[in-house]
């Protein structure tokens, strides 16, 4: 089969066959197809697109390019969730134990901070002793034992995605819908779950800034997952402002614990209840999502979800006493308040900018330095809140001194208006 011909067909707007896509991708992973040939095909896909079937074939071959987790030893319907990435997104830390406490097994592979977005693995590693690099045996045995586990995805999960993503990054072909779908879903399929809830974010702090682009991504993720024989639904959630108040690592764990105790910020609680309800429904323990919502609230209010989180931490070597006293989490050496020099109502928050600042303070992976578990931002004023002159907008924290330039950047991230509506966290569902 001629790679030249596979590329030519896509450039001319024709469809590729299953066999052609398999030949191209496996050849590229083995080093038999030249990067310039793969780059030409990716550019052709960027311009011409892929049909649903082609997207599924690409996803499948990418998933099978590495280890496929076999979760069949775990009883029940295994449900996973995936977020397209955001600022202050601590949803997995809450919903994994919550859903597991209802008897739905959750085997969650997760990632680290990327760009302006945080990573669940980095957040959980701020818990003293907590281990995220579990072997496949440890991972499966823990889910069998306590109903959930969260581990960092190893290099052998969908290695084709790593090679293709790196080429897309160099050739300006990241923003192609079928390439994004195959990238996300190949890793999820390799994780071995039976059903998925996708949290597709839109807005300033999201990968997809426009709601209509996020909806197209959600629809394609759900359609392709169904072609793979999986149950799948998606929620569209706002990243027009940070989720909750905390952005960072240990600060986000502390906020997640508040939600697991039945409190916490309303937007985080609402999104977690919605996603949990869908996971409980897909997992077959409730017959509809209204019942799922009631069940999720009951598990938060009764302390069952919190108890499961305690078990999850202990099983992975962490100190579960942080649940009772969040001051046992690493504490910052430096804290600086960002003070408002005007009165008014917050109209917008430059969310991506706050994510980048949290990274600069040490919470992310943008520099050569190690991730600082104490670094982050506590956003005290959100969109629609009234602010008086001299009130605190946000608190910055880090293990290193915080300079005035960073404080100015955060202050400039809050835009004032005459009045501001409190924006809803959810903008729709796709199933
Ligand atoms: N996230 C991914 O995992 N892959 C993409 O291509 C884009 C976002």
Q: Give the DSSP per-residue string, 225-249.
A: HHHTT-EEEEEEEE-SS-SSSEEES
Q: Is residue 168 domain-shared with residue 299, that is, in the same domain? A: yes
- Find how far residue 260's CA is from the centre of its chain: 19
**414 Cβ closer than 6 Å to some ligand 1 atom:** no
Q: Is residue 401 domain-shared with residue 344, that is, in the same domain? A: yes
Domain that holds residue 211: 79-323
Q: Is residue 305 domain-shared with residue 390, that is, in the same domain? A: no
Query: For 245-263, what is each residue's pLDDT tens digit?
Result: 999 999 999 999 999 999 9
pLDDT at site 361: 96
Q: Is residue 33 domain-shared with residue 146, that is, in the same domain? A: no
Closest Cα to atom 6 of ligand 1: 180
Domain count, the chain: 3
Closest Cα to atom 3 of ligand 1: 184
Q: Is residue 262 domain-shared with residue 403, that is, in the same domain? A: no
Q: Is residue 274 domain-shared with residue 302, that is, in the same domain? A: yes
Q: Which residue has the tokens 């072997």?
A: 135
CA distance 179 to 157: 17
**207 Cβ closer than 6 Å to some ligand 1 atom:** yes
Asked if residue 148 is part of any domain, the answer here is yes
Distance 310 CA to ligand 1 centre (A): 31
Q: Which of 183, 186, 238, 276 is catalytic?
A: 183
Here the CATH number for the domain that contains residue 38 is 1.20.970.10
Index of the ligand 1 atom closest to the CA of residue 179: 6
Q: By the 8 A CB rule, do 101 and 272 touch?
A: no
- Find how far residue 184's CA is from the centre of its chain: 11
Last residue in a domain, options 301, 323, 345: 323
CA distance 133 to 44: 37
Asked if residue 139 is part of any domain, the answer here is yes
| Residue 419 pLDDT greater than 80, yes or no | no
Q: By the 8 A CB rule, do 249 and 122 touch?
A: yes
CA distance 349 to 209: 14
Q: Is residue 285 domain-shared with residue 400, that is, in the same domain? A: no
CA distance 385 to 352: 20
**Mean of the per-residue pLDDT values for the chain?**
97
How sure is the predictor about 2, in pLDDT bands with cuts at 50, 70 and 90? very high
| Residue 365 pLDDT greater than 90, yes or no | no
How sure is the predictor about 368, in pLDDT bands with cuts at 50, 70 and 90? low
The least confident of 153-167, 320-334, 387-401, 409-423 is: 409-423
Q: Mean pLDDT over residues 367-388, rounded? A: 93
Find residue 108's DSSP bridge partners.
150
Specify whether 168 is catalytic. Answer: yes
Q: Is residue 346 domain-shared with residue 408, that is, in the same domain? A: yes
Here the CATH number for the domain that contains residue 366 is 3.90.1170.30
Alpha helices in 323-391, H assignment, sequence order: 351-358
Distance 184 CA to ligand 1 centre (A): 5
**180 Cβ closer than 6 Å to some ligand 1 atom:** yes
Please provide the size of the chain in residues: 431
DSSP 320: G
Helices (H) and strands (E) in the chain, counts: 16, 13
Query: For 296-355, what is each residue's pLDDT tens digit?
Result: 999 999 999 999 999 999 999 999 999 999 999 999 999 999 999 999 999 999 999 999
- Find how far residue 17's CA is from the centre of its chain: 32
Q: Is the pTM of this model over 0.95?
A: yes
Index of the ligand 1 atom closest to the CA of residue 187: 3
Asked if residue 188 is part of any domain, the answer here is yes
| β-pair type (344-349, 414-417) | antiparallel
Q: What are the tokens at 261?
A: 């105790």
pLDDT at site 418: 79
């Amino acid at each position: 089969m001629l790679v030249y011909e596979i590329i030519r067909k896509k450039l001319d707007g024709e469809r590729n066959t299953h066999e052609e896509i398999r030949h191209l991708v496996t050849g590229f992973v083995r080093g038999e197809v030249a990067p310039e040939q793969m780059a030409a095909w990716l550019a052709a896909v960027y311009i011409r697109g892929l049909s649903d079937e082609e997207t599924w074939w690409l996803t499948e071959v990418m998933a099978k390019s590495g280890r496929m987790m076999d979760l069949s030893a775990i009883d029940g319907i295994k449900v996973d969730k995936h977020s397209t990435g955001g600022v202050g997104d601590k949803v997995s830390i809450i919903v994994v134990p919550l859903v597991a406490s209802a008897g739905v097994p959750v085997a969650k592979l997760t990632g680290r901070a990327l760009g302006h977005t945080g990573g669940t693995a980095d957040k959980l590693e701020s818990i003293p002793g907590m281990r995220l690099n579990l072997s496949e045996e440890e991972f499966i045995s823990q889910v069998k034992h306590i109903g959930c586990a969260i581990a960092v995805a190893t290099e052998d999960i969908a290695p084709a995605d790593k090679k293709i993503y790196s080429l897309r990054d160099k050739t300006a072909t990241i923003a192609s819908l079928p390439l994004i779908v195959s990238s996300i879903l190949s890793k999820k399929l390799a994780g071995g779950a039976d059903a998925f809830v996708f949290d597709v974010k839109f807005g300033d702090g999201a990968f997809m800034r426009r709601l209509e682009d996020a909806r197209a991504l959600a629809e394609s993720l759900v359609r392709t997952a169904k072609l793979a024989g999986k149950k799948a639904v998606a929620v569209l959630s706002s990243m027009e402002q940070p989720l909750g108040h905390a952005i960072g690592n240990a600060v986000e764990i502390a906020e997640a614990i508040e939600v697991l105790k039945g409190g916490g910020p309303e937007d985080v609680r609402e999104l977690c209840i919605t996603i949990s309800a869908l996971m409980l429904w897909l997992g077959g323990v409730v017959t509809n999502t209204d019942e799922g919502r009631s069940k999720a609230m009951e598990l938060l209010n009764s302390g069952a979800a919190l108890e499961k989180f305690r078990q999850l931490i202990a099983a992975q070597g962490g100190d579960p006493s942080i649940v009772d006293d969040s001051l046992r989490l690493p504490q910052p050496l430096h804290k600086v308040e960002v003070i408002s020099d005007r009165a008014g109502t917050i109209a917008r928050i430059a969310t991506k900018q706050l994510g980048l600042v949290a990274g600069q303070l040490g919470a992310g992976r943008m520099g050569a330095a190690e991730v600082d578990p104490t670094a982050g931002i506590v956003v005290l004023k959100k969109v629609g809140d009234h602010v008086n002159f001299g009130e605190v907008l946000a608190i910055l924290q880090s293990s290193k001194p915080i300079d005035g330039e960073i404080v100015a950047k955060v202050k400039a991230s809050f835009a004032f208006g005459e009045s501001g509506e409190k924006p809803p966290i959810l903008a729709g569902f796709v199933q």
